[in-house]
Amino acid sequence: MKNRTFYISLILTVSLILSSCSSSRQIDSLGIVITMAVDMEDDEIIVTSQISSSKENASTSNQKSAGSSSDIKYVQGRGKTVYDALKNASLNYDRELFLSHNSIIIFGEELAKTGIGDIINYFSYDIGTRETAYLLVAKESKAYEILGLSYLTDDYLLTLIENAHLTAKTRNMTLVEYLRYYFYSHGLVPGVVQLTDKMEIDYEKKEKSPTRKVLDITGGAAFYKDRLQGYYSGEEMIGFNFLIDEIKRNPIVFETPDELTQGSKLFSTRGRYTTINILKSKTKLNMEVRDEKPHLIVDVNMRGTIVEETKGLNLSDESVRLGIEDACSKQIEKYIDMAMYKAQKEFKIDTFGIGIVLHREYPEVWKEVSKNWNEVFSDIDYSVNVKTSIIRTGVIDLPINIIKGRE
């Protein structure tokens, strides 16, 4: 009986010791960082942290609505390094910054041009940093200028990034993806964010009010190693995403060929465009050596559905559908040409990982050109083959603006 009592007491004592958290911190003593902006001024690193006080107030029974703009705080620290700047923020903020909930890291354009390798180094070392945090470049501005729009909610920018799958005019890149691309390719393309003007309408006065700033994530930031070289536009990013095979259920808008309406009598002829929504797309990159030079072959197979047609086409006509497929294919080729031109002639950087394809298919050739691959890439020829298949045309084949029967 005595032994039994002893063992029960020992188990309870050990359980109490092992369940304690000697390094635990109360949530109301932490500043929960949700977005971080990193800049450089006068050889100092500036770290601006967006903190959701709604998460802090959850433990103090504060009744403010979670996520409202009034719940957001901004804390800034300066230092010689990122860690130094984060710690120096405690000199003017009464909570310790907690990074494990940080979802976005924004780099100012000036810092990105000088190199972000040492900054990325910190985030890869720090065990409290999320590997899934999105990386963005503040186009034509400081990173801290992106933060601080008083009417924004704490998840506004994160929602924009997560909705990037709705269009191919941008892309997402997380910290872990950056590291993966960094070690296997010198060309990197994370996302961008910029401030743009938006005109508002005062419905009471029935007049336009002054513009206000909104955030826009159109485009991509092209890096060579860790330095910003320039930007892809939204349309160039469509071609970029086709080349790296990251197209999802995105729309393709193109001008409808006039010859497809020949013989049709229309109420209105103002329409110009057709929109196809991509259901499935697959891009294959292959290399050939022609006249001792690498030649890239881009094969795209895309299936989609017509979601909008403003010209007034008789889609029940097989020749019309074939004409639409051909026009869509030509538009995709145009997007790919735009992206290749920007990479070859302006950036002179292989941002698509084409060197990996050459290395895989012609290792001996790669050994010869790898040391000056970007120079070789800037001069390679390529051919693009796009096959578009329309598998659905919506609920009607005959548009309403075609005159039917007797006039």
Local confidence band at 63 (pLDDT 50, 70, 90 cut-offs): very low
147 φ/ψ angles, rounded to the nearest 5 degrees: -85, 165
Q: Is the pLDDT of residue 106 over 90?
A: yes
Q: CA-to-CA distance for 237 and 63, rounded, in angstroms?
A: 43
Give pLDDT, residue 10.
Answer: 67
**Choice between 130 and 72, residue whose per-residue pLDDT is larger:** 130
Nearest to 109, CA basis, from 149, 157, 143: 143
Q: Give the residue carrying structure tokens 């709604």.
A: 54
Residue 8 has pLDDT above 90, yes or no: no
Structure tokens at 144: 């801290």
80 pLDDT band, cuts 50/70/90, is very high
What is the Cα Rg of the chain in Å?
27
Please write the tens of the pLDDT for every residue from 204-261: 666 666 677 789 999 999 999 899 999 999 999 999 999 999 998 899 999 988 887 7
**pLDDT value of residue 228:** 96
Query: Is pLDDT of 352 > 90?
Result: yes
Q: What is residue 26's predicted lDDT score, i.e. its pLDDT? A: 60
Average pLDDT, integer, range 91-96: 88
How much is the pTM? 0.85
Lowest mean pLDDT among 194-208, 238-252, 297-311, 378-392: 194-208
Q: How far is 330 from 333, CA to CA, in rounded Å?
A: 5
Cα pseudo-dihedral 86, 133, 338, 309, rounded to 10: -130
Q: pLDDT at residue 105 above 50? A: yes
Q: Is a pLDDT exceeding 50 seen at residue 407? A: no
What is the pLDDT averaged over residues 379-385?
A: 96
- pLDDT band at residue 315 using 50, 70 and 90 as cut-offs: confident
Candidates 3.40.640.10, 3.30.300.210, 3.40.50.12280, 3.90.470.10; CATH matching 234-407: 3.30.300.210
Q: What burial class does residue 365 get, using C-beta atoms within 10 Å of its C-beta: 0-12 exposed, 13-18 middle, 19+ buried?
A: middle
Q: Is the dihedral of CA 92, 94, 98, 101 positive or negative?
A: negative
The fraction of the chain above a pLDDT of 70, given in percent, is 79
Instruction: Check whether 149 has a pLDDT greater than 80.
Output: no
Q: Model confidence at 57, in pLDDT bands (50, 70, 90)? A: very low
pLDDT of residue 36: 94
Predicted local confidence at residue 3, as pLDDT = 66
pLDDT band at residue 15 under the 50/70/90 scheme = low
At residue 59 the predicted structure's pLDDT band, cuts being 50, 70 and 90, is very low
Residue 264 has pLDDT above 50, yes or no: yes
Break the chain into its structural domains and give their ranges.
27-232, 234-407
Q: What is the pLDDT at residue 225?
A: 87
- The mean-pLDDT minimum among 28-37, 251-260, 263-272 falls in 263-272
Confidence of residue 136 (pLDDT cuts 50, 70, 90): very high
Tell me what pLDDT residue 37 has: 95
